[in-house]
Every structure is written in structure tokens, then in C-alpha cells.
Amino acid sequence: METTRREFLSTASLTAMGAAVLATGIGTLMPEKAKAALSKPGTKGQPKAETELEDFVYDIENGSTGYQGAGGSAKEATVEEFPVSQSIAGVSMYLKPGAFREMHWHSIAAEWAYILDGAVRTTVITPDGTTSTDDFEKGDIWFFPKGHGHMLQCLGDKPCHFLLGFDNGHFSEFGTFSVTDWVSHVSPAIMAKNTGLPTSFFAGLPKKELYIGLGKIAVKPRPKNINPAIPFSNSMHKFSMEKEGIFQEFKGGSVKLVSSLEFPIQNTITSMRMNIEPGAIRELHWHPNADEWQYVMEGKGELSIFGSHGRVKTMPYHKGMVGFIKQGYGHFIENTGTETLKLIILFNSPVYQEISLNDWLNSNPPQLIADHFGMTLEQAASLINHQNGIY
């Protein structure tokens, strides 16, 4: 799905936030200290001493001990490992053929995923009682709302690797609710009453969580439910980012974006795939409505963040690392390597919004820009309106 930059932004963005501000009244949203400062014309509070920006890059593949078992592994980046990322957590999970991430649910976060390699089968049950069994290949994404029970299974005879994202940085993959953990800690007599199976079966279960198990290799076609009376949903949890995402090619790179406008069930996150070619940059910009979380799929680069009062920090990152930018902080990315820098990006908002420094400069009168930077009017008038997001 191709679109122009202007269409990309207008399609992927909504003005609900601005409308809410106007409806509420700016005075009710303004901190008391700010209102007090405005009541004293000609005065301005002195900024506090500069505080260096905290680290905003983390090596999820090598910095996390995570889980390692016979069926696969899971490396996570939550606030425990990556303190700056308060709103978004991530897990890099590998499953071997025949392995499955057991049936479970998350009480405080929704789950998003992108298939990096191989194929995955999922099952999910929703509050209306419908279920879905879906097969995912490289480039596909899924989204399971908070509290929906689900299972993840390696599909076929090759291992799979996928990235999980959660809309709460305090989430922990090892603190979720797993079916074996629950069943094994309920008395065998109660479980027998609940299921109709013999008490002796439950008495012999291990008193621990399975987490990642090993079974028979999953093959196509997709299996039917045990109970044929339980209705299937219409695969609303699945979307192909690589095939159906909003596509925009720029000088120096490209993006594919999926918001709630394209994938309605993905109602707390917007996701993006970005390519930046060697020597190019993702232009200076900020997001007024969301934090940004990044995972480096391939290549290497530098992420630079501006946090006001002269606080600017640049950190290098490469394949297997994640980065985080707080809402409203200016930033840019430079590809410093010799291969395409490939990123997966999450925003904790169902719609996409950005403000480009280039667009801002070029939307102001040339004389005003000249006065800001001490340049000549000719220099200001000659600023190139790139209309691009990557250069």
C-alpha cells in the first residue's frame, strides 16, 4: 500500500488530542507553576542545572540472562533491565521445532509480535467466547489485547524467532499467568470436578510452570478445536505488515506503518518497519503523542536524543539492541554502517503522529527563520523543503 508523505501522515494521524485540549481548556491542563509564571510578564524561571540524559539503548540479545530451555529461549527488556522504557517492554523469543510457549495470559499488558524468522502458529480465546488459530510467517504481526488467553507454537521443521512487544514497561514475560502453573497448584480433587478427568491424573502433575514445552512438530493444515461447537473468529488478530502496511519510500530509506486505522484490534500500539540506507539519516523530528521503542533487526547506527536545556546524547546501537525515546523528545537516527539499517519501531498510541523539524522550518516566513539563526534572508529562503523523512 503506497502513499505520499502528506497522505502517510494524514492517514496515520488523528487530531483527537488537539481537539481534547481545546475542549478541556488549556488552563486546566497547564501545571500550576507554569500558570504562575505566565502571570508575571517579563520573567522566566531559570532552568535547573543540566542533568545528563539517562541511557536509552540496551542490548536485549546479549544483556539479558532471560530463559533458556530445551525448547527455546526468551530474552526480555523491561524496566528492570532497561529503566528508561517505562511504557513499553520487549521480548526476543526463539522456539525450536516442536516447541511451544504454553497457554497463558497477561493481566497488565497487551501483546504485539513481529515474526523475524520461521513460522509460528497461535491460538487465542476472546471474552466473547470465539477462538482463532492462525499461522504467521516472516513479516506478519499479531496483537492480543490484555487478558486474552493465547499460545505460541513453532510451525514446521525449522526454528522460529519473533519479537514481542508489550504496552507496559513493567510487564515481565516471567510474571504472566500460565495454565500449567495454575492447574498444578489447584488440588487434584477440584481439578477433577472442574474437568471430569480422574483425580489421579492431576495428582501426578509437576508442581511448576512449563513455560516453553516440547511436543510433536506442528504442521499444516491448521487443526480444529477439540469442541467443534466453539466458534472461530475471523483472524482479526493477524496482519501482514510487510505486505499490507502503509508504505512510503524516501530518499535514503523507506517505512511500512500499521496503526489502529489499518489493524483495528491493535488499539494501544502503532508499529513500523523502517529501512535507512548507509550514510542516510532519519530526519530530526519528535512525536507529540507517544513514546518510541526500537529494535535493530540488521545493521548499525547512532540514535541521538534532544531533551531540552542543552541535553543532547548520542548512543551507538547494532543488531539485537533496543532504543527508547520519551514522548516529545527530539531525535534522529544515522546509519553509520555499510549495510541497510533495519528497525522495528513501536509507539504507545493507536495512531501515528510526528512533527518534522524540516517541515516546521519551511512552514515559517523566511525573515523569521533568518532572525532566529542570524542567517541572511537569501539563506533562509533557500532552505530545501525535503518533504522526506529519511535523507
Is 81 annotated among the ligand-binding residues? no
pLDDT tens-digit series, residues 106-124: 999 999 999 999 999 999 9
pLDDT tens-digit series, residues 148-162: 999 999 999 999 999
Is 170 annotated among the ligand-binding residues? no
Q: Active-site residue 104, yes or no?
A: yes
Domain 243-381: which CATH number of 2.60.120.10, 3.30.428.10, 3.30.450.40, 2.40.50.100: 2.60.120.10
pTM of the model: 0.87
Which is the catalytic residue, given 61, 76, 81, 101? 101
Q: Active-site residue 262, yes or no?
A: no
Is 237 annotated among the ligand-binding residues? no
Which is the catalytic residue, given 81, 104, 237, 273? 104
CA pair distance 135, 121, nearest whole angstrom: 4
Q: Active-site residue 150, yes or no?
A: yes
Q: Active-site residue 106, yes or no?
A: yes
User: What does the pLDDT read at residue 222?
Assistant: 85
Is 292 annotated among the ligand-binding residues? yes
Which is the catalytic residue, given 106, 121, 237, 273? 106
Ranges for all domains in the chain classified under CATH 2.60.120.10: 63-239, 243-381
Q: Active-site residue 170, yes or no?
A: no
CATH domain 63-239 topology:
Jelly Rolls (2.60.120)
User: What does the pLDDT read at residue 12?
Assistant: 52
Per-10-residue mean pLDDT, the chain, length 391? 59 42 36 44 49 93 90 95 96 98 96 98 92 95 96 98 97 86 96 96 93 96 84 84 95 96 97 98 96 98 96 97 98 98 98 94 91 91 63 59
Which is the catalytic residue, given 150, 237, 273, 282? 150
Q: Active-site residue 101, yes or no?
A: yes
Is 111 annotated among the ligand-binding residues? yes
